[in-house]
Chain A
């Protein structure tokens, strides 16, 4: 009886529940007011509960698997960190409209957390696409300069990527169409996740224009998209014909991602742009681990967790330093004297990006590097070391500003809430490193049941 109830709940589609939410959202955007906000609150709560119920039911039936559950937990953690970011300074009218923000963030989190639980089939792609729409609206509803344009670009890119991924997911069910289906799925999800070269345009705009909680929207979408790509890689490597093609595609994405991300991070003068470029290079390393197939899979999963947490810590730190304003790298001058806890937290996040020992980033990069050496992929090992070197140069520059420069006399005091968020995330990055062996075992255990299944 219980199994039948679970099966009935699992067969519901969260995407169908999220569609009315999106329509209610449009009403809220066009005519913000108390009634629209209430309707949105009810729709968001219902959608969130339904997504959670479907996720738990699928997990109980063994349909989602531990990999999806891990993705959902990570995304919820990132979302909670995002909610700690203070909104930019605003007028009374803007404050009234910003009541939409937590609701949109709730829709974004519901979609992103549901996506890895549902897998990279039609359900997962639909959930991710609805989350991307909520992210675009979250970006667009902010009154920051260029925010609406950034939201529109994000929406268009996610829509195009979603269309390709949906067509791919449909073609998967038709025998003989597998190569085309996998190409459409990987290409579409790479567009949504902002993997290079699709990181330019929409994701760049979102990274620079977003202030407050919306600053983390595209990072959350990226983490969910990378989890879905992991499902696709696992499915592709179970098919000998597709395995070779998938390895080539992921290798190409890795080379472009690490190369473009590292060069853009070295050239960046704005902290938000720098974090976006660094995340692009780190996502390139995830693609590299996915290209290696079996031995690289747990490395890919650890790398997604490590770099997402580090990115969230950095975004929280930037939110504390410059909540509603541009954040030039000069804003870090003398940070160690002005806000020692924040400086230490940001340093830990930067060192995790580099892959310094005693951080989770080290464990993840070590896993990727050892998989590359074990597989005899010397170019992949070289690419990993090149990414580490570029990150070290950028981190060294920022650490020098924080610890060796004098603060500007009129430098503002950082906001308290994001400081704590950044400190907690930094502590997780260090504590995680001491559990890296256990984490690797968990990653293997999460991946093993998903290997060979349809995405």
Chain B
């Protein structure tokens, strides 16, 4: 039996022992729960998803409330307009435009000088900062233009609001520029997922159209945000499959022939549709009208069209449902198609805040249905039913307009849950994409983004060197720092390695949490071990002027999440570089190269 002498420790030793015991438990807890930077990114992506869904639901309810206040009806926009007297149909969208314009004008006083609110711009060519006040002003204006019957999508502002919240959260958490932009992208994915009840499409929309990559570094957080948003939306509302469609059967391979033609035609018409929107924008801009008058005129055009064809109002959702279920004859649809085109150009061109995504779906559905009907008239066995052509037309038109065929296929599949349609849909989407690219290099989003990028007085330069990405003032200790100070800093910094510098701030090496962990309960060690005893001098580092590719090579030889950034000449520790930020920046560079080439 061993004897143990019981002596009363001096107060300082007792205090140290108590502190170390506490630290040991805290390190244990932190280590067990300590998330890596990737896990943290995923967690914040989920938060962005949740908040995005709340924002989307809030906007949806807000639009319904204002719609009820303006029309006295709880029905959809098209049904409400049908029930209104003709003079009201004419005036209401103009009145809504006037109100939206007034809000935008007032907003300029509330948020003067704030930069662009466009979330895509913030992700692609900006720094991830989406101004909150001007975004709220724009969204409020959108509520009026949408609720008063404007031929514009309400999903755009929902996505915008979701992205704003994500940007706000990222700024609050002081995210690096790369992580902030990724979080805004997560917000956008969440907005799309909750707007269309389509989490896969939400993720791929942002990955394919905005980020231009489906690398897991960005796709993973997008998926998490989209799933969180969809779950929240389903919890808060009766979210369901957006378009209920009748079953579709492909009777023979020959039926693919008309679909190939549909793909080519959709790929030709979609760029024309986009061009018409831009032309309308140009005409309104050239008119010199003040914003209120411009929006009122845009609304008035919609109102005049709605007097005869109320189907032009709103985003076109209810009309698409009707087309897909055979509720509209081809003559009527031809009229609606032409009027809706004009109405969308008027709303979009006048600057009515809202999105053009859902109206694009409408154009595709009607175009596909009309094409299917024509084929049926000429060759009945090749198009037994024109409704599947409407469905495939939506996908093809979307693919051509957004130049994102993968997203288009996934979105159509997710919105209809019709797997039978997948073969013609895939083929048609790809053909439409190539046809559209042959005619025009721009997509629904790329053109305005390119203009904005060119108009930037000081274009945002992508990170070219480690210096651009590093985080300054990383936690570090001096060589003489005592063991308890080292342990305490580990808890505060939640990193696996703590940098050690000399009295002149020169980098010496790093203390690894793994090395000291077993000795946290040893008061004697704590009493006389200092950072100098623990530092590993062979710790990898990168220099601030190294390229990202060189830094990536350094990370390839190092199994950690963060490297110290050390000046080459005087070996001073100037910052730390997170692997997460580096990978995101490299992915962005690849995207930028791709854009430059195209």
The finding on whether chains A and B are genuine partners in a shared complex, rather than unrelated, reads no
Binding site for A on B (CB under 8 A): none
